[in-house]
A and B are shown apart, each in its own frame.
Chain A
Amino acid sequence: MAILALPETRILVHGIGNPLARFQCEEMLRHGTRLTGIVAVDPGDTEHWHPPNIPVFQSAWDAMASVKADLSMIFSPPYAVKSEVSEAVAAGIPIIVCLTEHVPLHDAVLIRHLAKRAGVTLIGPNSSGVLSPGRAKAGFFVEDICLPGNVGVITKSGSLAYAALAEMKSAGIGISTVVAIGGDVVKGTGFREHLALFHADLETQAVVLLGEIGGCDEEQAAAFIRDAATKKPVVAFISGRSVPLGHSMGHAGAIAERGRGDYHSKSRALAAAGVHVAENIGEIPRLLKLLPR
């Protein structure tokens, strides 16, 4: 069944002034995704271009009142993300994918808080989006680099996932859904939330988790996997093994992260939770093929 982006998922695109958003609209239509509307706060943004036969709305409220949407994609400028996401949350859109990068941290904290309180699944900021090949595309991922299949992929970095998907495709391994949670310090949702979705998805038989050094998302994911009632095999890769962690700027950070956040802390925690940790990206398909069927 895949997760988050399904054949019936109706999608709104916000921030059409961004050329990336316009390109993605064309790509979504090419992939057969149900692009249901454009939200343009500034009417000038759609004066010269908008996809043919797709309605344009001035707010998420207007969009929800006239077409029912399941997912919003946010391409708005960094300082506009706070208001755009707040409005989408208030309008009742259940899944919000924020692709904008360089969102101020305090704004990210606020929209994360609002989404949690409202029961909205916020993905990002700085997410590369979601793709369920053959079903729907809500982000930068394209079907050219992957195959449909039964492995779920959760990643911080978009580019790392592109490489993993391409390597999996070369080995004949396909995916149910790939979801990019974003590499920023503050994220709407993390590995844990999407691991839970993949655990509940009948089609997904294994999960690939792509992490990187810094923070403690991977350690938390390891704890989640260790304690989960339903288990699916997980293969993980952590980038940054050859890069020492940056110097922490204060006592608080040093105390909070003591012994966590580096490559060895993450790979040890994951291995202890029964995760198969790949040495490099090329090893991911090999480890997936070794999993018991």
Chain B
Amino acid sequence: MRLDLSPNGCDMLLLEHRGKALFRKHGVPTPAGVVVTDGSSLAQALLSLPPRLVLKAQVATGGRGKSGGVAFADGAEEARRALAALLGSRINGHSVQSVLVEERIAFTRERYAGIVIEDGEIRLLFGRSGGVDVEDITAADPTNFVSITVDPIEGPAFDQLQACFARLDYAPGCRAAYERIGCALFAMSRTYDATMIEINPLVELPEGGLVALDARLVIDDGALDRQPDIAAMQPHPNVTSRAPNTFAGLKFRENSEGGAIGLIGLGGGLNVALMDWIASTGSKVAVLVDIDEAIGAGQALQGFAAALEAFNRNPSIRSVLINIITCGYRLDEIVASLLLALGPDAGQRAKPVILHLRGNGMASAQQLLTTAGWPNSPSIAAAIEAVVAAAKS
């Protein structure tokens, strides 16, 4: 089942060229480059670029180098052919609509620099070796990475950075440039609400100095409302299709592995635990609806009705579990709405509905259920047993 469990599960990855524009604003050197979308914009770009080029597909996914998203070209003819091959191709499921054409940089060393939020702290990371194989290199040699915990108010301290660079054997002549990179990473992460920034590789030039050959910035979705300029940089529309389908304001999360049970639950943590439990019986939840948002918006009746209607129309769903255990809302108010949505035919539905309802205002909620003739399962175990049996019959 594919679900975004963490609140940051769908944070926004900026396209490389957007990231590099922010890098330049903060003094991080990048190769000269132009974004092109067709042959004529390429022809225009070639006027300002040297003949030795790199063409990089602008898609919001990692591992482009290993999935055919990066091509080298010498001269205009090769560049045209590389562009034609990249445009419209698919990289890790993302369709390529634009390509960053850059000067090719001659370098002496590939390093890694990044900043992440980990264990509640901001951490700067530097790598002795960088490049596409940095994960394997670090797995073989953990000393390849040095991580610095940064004071979130003061930023990285000079001594911390120098000690880190010494451990990684960065040449003393380069350390001031690395220090500027570290400070820029910290400033950018705070300025743009970035939860992760990576420069991989960060290369050393033969004549001295550093250049960021790649840029990965991940922006906290929870902060996009106060980052209007960044929010406007959404990647191409076709790559933002991760959003679950919505119906009457509800999120319907469909299990890509199929299933025969529809689940209406309240709260992400419990919903996942219920799906685990049902999976352990050999059955599967086909569609999950979290009713929280509908209740919070005062639309409990509409939410329940829309979910039940969708479940009725879904031929793979054979039984329905409504499991609500609430503290923050009044259960009796929720039950009043639910009974209206369920209608008068208790127990007569084409697709059996199993209820397990507990919480704040339990006594009056139970009274409503008893009056309406709806049984309330005595435990989660009993409810799951009933809904699994109903799905099989």
- A residues sitting closer than 8 Å to B (CB atoms) are 20, 23-24, 27, 78-79, 101-106, 108-110, 112-113, 126, 128, 140-142, 144-145, 155-163, 166-167, 170, 183-187, 210, 212-216, 237, 239-244, 246, 249-256, 258, 279-282
Would A251 and B198 count as touching, CB distance under 8 A? yes
Would A253 and B196 count as touching, CB distance under 8 A? yes
Question: Which one of A144, A213, A255, A282 lies within 8 Å of B135 (CB-CB)?
Answer: A255
Would A158 and B327 count as touching, CB distance under 8 A? yes
Question: Which one of B3, B277, B379 lies within 8 Å of A243 (CB-CB)?
Answer: B3
Number of B residues near A (Cβ < 8 Å) is 71
A-B contact count (CB 8 A): 204
Would A256 and B118 count as touching, CB distance under 8 A? yes
- With A144-B360, A249-B13 as known contacts, state yes or no: A166 contacts B325, CB within 8 Å: yes
Would A214 and B267 count as touching, CB distance under 8 A? no
Complex Cα distance, B360 from A38, in Å, reads: 24
Question: Which one of B5, B118, B327, B358 lies within 8 Å of A140 (CB-CB)?
Answer: B327
B120 within 8 A of A: yes
Question: Which one of B153, B195, B361 lies within 8 Å of A113 (CB-CB)?
Answer: B153
Would B327 and A243 count as touching, CB distance under 8 A? no
Q: Which residues of chain A come closer than 8 Å to B271, judged between CB atoms?
A: 159
Question: Which one of B116, B267, B268, B379 lies within 8 Å of A162 (CB-CB)?
Answer: B267
B125 within 8 A of A: yes
- With A163-B325, A254-B135 as known contacts, state yes or no: A242 contacts B125, CB within 8 Å: no
Complex Cα distance, B362 from A210, in Å, reads: 24
Complex Cα distance, B190 from A157, in Å, reads: 28
Would A141 and B153 count as touching, CB distance under 8 A? no
* Residue among A170, A214, A246 with max Cβ neighbours from chain B (10 Å): A246
B58 within 8 A of A: no
Interface of B is mostly: mixed
Indicate with 1 or 0, residue by residue over B203-224, a CB within 8 angstroms of chain A CB atoms.
Answer: 0000000000000101010110
Q: Which residues of chain B come closer than 8 Å to A78, judged between CB atoms?
A: 222
Would A213 and B5 count as touching, CB distance under 8 A? yes
Complex Cα distance, B333 from A23, in Å, reads: 14
B232 within 8 A of A: no
Min C-beta distance of B112 to chain A, whole Å? 7
Question: Which one of A102, A145, A184, A250 lies within 8 Å of B325 (CB-CB)?
Answer: A145
Would A214 and B226 count as touching, CB distance under 8 A? no
Nearest B-chain residue to A146, judged by Cβ: B327
Nearest B-chain residue to A111, judged by Cβ: B152
Indicate with 1 or 0, residue by residue over B319-334, a CB within 8 angstroms of chain A CB atoms.
Answer: 0000001111000000
Complex Cα distance, B193 from A160, in Å, reads: 30
Q: Which residues of chain A come closer than 8 Å to B9, judged between CB atoms?
A: 246
Query: Which residues of B, 96-121, contact A by the 8 Å Cβ criterion?
Result: 112, 114, 116-121
Q: Which residues of chain A come closer than 8 Å to B200, judged between CB atoms?
A: 251
Would A183 and B268 count as touching, CB distance under 8 A? yes
Complex Cα distance, B151 from A252, in Å, reads: 19
Nearest A-chain residue to B285, judged by Cβ: A242
Of all A-B residue pairs in the complex, the 7 with the closest CB atoms, nearest first, are A157-B269, A159-B267, A159-B270, A160-B269, A104-B223, A242-B279, A239-B273
Min C-beta distance of B247 to chain A, whole Å? 22
Q: Which residues of chain B come closer than 8 Å to A156, judged between CB atoms?
A: 269
B67 within 8 A of A: no
